[in-house]
């Protein structure tokens, strides 16, 4: 039995549009391994799926809904608002379709009296602060209203007034709210589906406003997420990053693929865990990697040494090199590798011996 199965655990589900269907596969894998979270926390689609789980919606029903939802079920242009109000229109799309989707799976009533703890991440648009509904002092509001607000991507859907606060998608500040969700639990399982792979995007400018906006939002959310993970202080964290980065946020025809990716990514992460208790202030799974630099490609810009001091250094010829070649890193480490403008840095997994120039993710210190 996994050590996680015997601990009080917070499951944190990040936002990521329809890539968030991977969360269903994650929960299927956890269920098979006997891991039952005592707390669910989520942002955007992560909040929607977390609330549905706390409400007792079977995973089979979640899968059915995910595979049958259509673009028409969610996106209906706010034609009247854009025609009459023009730039003063609060959103491109109508509120009601998203409301209907939330109401179909999220329980009525307030956060009090739920069988499991539920935290829904939003941002107070007027104050510019995070509001985590479900925490003490933030329980006596409609769960459905809070979840809608967490899904209300600014510009796409109108904000919602929750407990007297005008709220929007929590990913505006924190797409993966691990710090708040970790309070008082033994371990955290965090699932990042929104910012797993920020490789080069093709033809963004030719795909219209929505594609440009979502690409910019992804870059922003990714950047905001780096420091909290790189400087993690708290219970042991299992960070799961399903392979969903190649799909658009709102691609409706890949639900089964996303669910399977969540399942596979979770099983793989669990299989890599060490036996026995996990350590605080540490992100898992841990992997042995080797860094190397192609000197012919290196232009000596110094970006890697600025982002990863102590890991990368410059030699007398102003070429970058790894101060130490081998490291033990988590999925949250190695962001600087992908920041190299000439792809001169290579990261090799010593377990698989498969080379990659893609980042495992942020690292400014050697863990």
Active-site position among 44, 142, 150, 182: 44
DSSP state of 17: G
CB neighbours of 24 closer than 8 A, spacing ≥ 6? Answer: 49, 59, 62, 63, 66, 259, 262
Distance CA 42, CA 314 (A): 42
Tallying the residues shown for the chain, one arrives at: 367
Q: Assign residue 157 a region (left: φ > 0; alpha: ψ between -120 and 50; beta: otherwise).
A: beta
Q: Which residue has the tokens 């025809």?
A: 253
Residue 44 among the catalytic residues: yes
CB atoms under 10 Å from CB of 306, counted, come to 12
Residue 343 among the catalytic residues: no
CB atoms under 10 Å from CB of 6, counted, come to 13
The DSSP code sequence of 137-189 is TS-SS-HHHHHHHHH--TBTS--EEETTEEEEEGGGT-SS-HHHHTTT-SEEE
Distance CA 101, CA 73 (A): 8
Q: Look at strands 355-356 and 165-169 and give their pairing.
A: unpaired
* Dihedral, 194, 134, 148, 10 alpha carbons, nearest 10: 30
Q: Look at strands 39-43 and 9-13 and give their pairing.
A: parallel
The DSSP code sequence of 306-358 is HHSBTTEEE-TTS-EEESSSEEEE-TT-BHHHHH-TT--EEEEETTT--EE-S
Active-site position among 169, 174, 186, 192: 169
- The closest alpha carbon to 24, from 273, 269, 266, belongs to 266
- Please check whether residue 240 is in contact with residue 361, taking contact to mean a CB–CB distance below 8 angstroms: no
- The closest alpha carbon to 348, from 338, 340, 358, belongs to 358
Distance CA 92, CA 78 (A): 5
DSSP state of 201: P
Catalytic residues: 44, 169
């Amino acid at each position: 039995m996994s050590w996680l199965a015997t601990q009080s655990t917070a499951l944190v589900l990040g936002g990521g549009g329809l890539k968030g269907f991977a969360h269903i596969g994650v929960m299927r894998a956890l269920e098979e391994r006997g891991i039952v979270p005592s707390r669910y926390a989520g942002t955007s689609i992560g909040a929607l799926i977390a609330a549905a789980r706390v409400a007792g919606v079977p995973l089979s029903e979640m899968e059915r809904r995910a595979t049958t939802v259509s673009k028409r079920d969610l996106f209906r242009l706010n034609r009247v608002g854009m025609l009459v109000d023009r730039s003063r229109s609060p959103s491109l799309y109508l509120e009601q379709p998203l409301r209907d989707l939330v109401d179909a799976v999220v329980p009525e009533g307030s956060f009090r009296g739920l069988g499991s703890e539920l935290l829904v991440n939003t941002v107070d648009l007027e104050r510019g602060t995070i509001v985590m509904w479900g925490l003490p002092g933030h329980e006596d509001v409609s769960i459905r209203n809070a979840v809608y607000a967490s899904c209300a991507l600014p510009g796409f859907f109108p904000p919602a007034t929750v407990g007297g606060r005008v709220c929007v998608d929590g990913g505006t500040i924190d797409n993966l709210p691990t710090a708040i969700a970790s309070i008082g639990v033994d371990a955290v399982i965090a699932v990042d589906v929104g910012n797993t792979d920020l490789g080069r995007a093709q033809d963004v400018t030719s795909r219209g406003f929505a594609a440009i906006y979502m690409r910019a939002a992804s870059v922003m959310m990714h950047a905001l997420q780096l420091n909290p993970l790189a400087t993690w202080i708290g219970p042991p964290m299992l960070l799961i990053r399903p392979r969903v980065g190649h799909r658009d946020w709102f691609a409706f025809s890949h639900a089964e693929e996303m669910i399977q990716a969540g399942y596979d990514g979770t099983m793989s992460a669990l299989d890599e865990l060490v036996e026995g208790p996990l350590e605080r202030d540490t992100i898992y799974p841990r992997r042995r990697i080797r860094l190397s630099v192609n000197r012919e490609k290196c232009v000596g810009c110094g970006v890697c040494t600025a982002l990863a001091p102590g890991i990368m250094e410059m030699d007398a010829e102003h070429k970058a090199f790894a101060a130490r070649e081998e490291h033990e890193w988590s999925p949250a480490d190695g962001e600087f590798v992908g920041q190299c403008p000439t792809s001169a840095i290579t990261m090799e997994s010593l377990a698989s011996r498969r080379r990659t120039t893609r980042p495992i993710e942020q690292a400014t210190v050697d863990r």
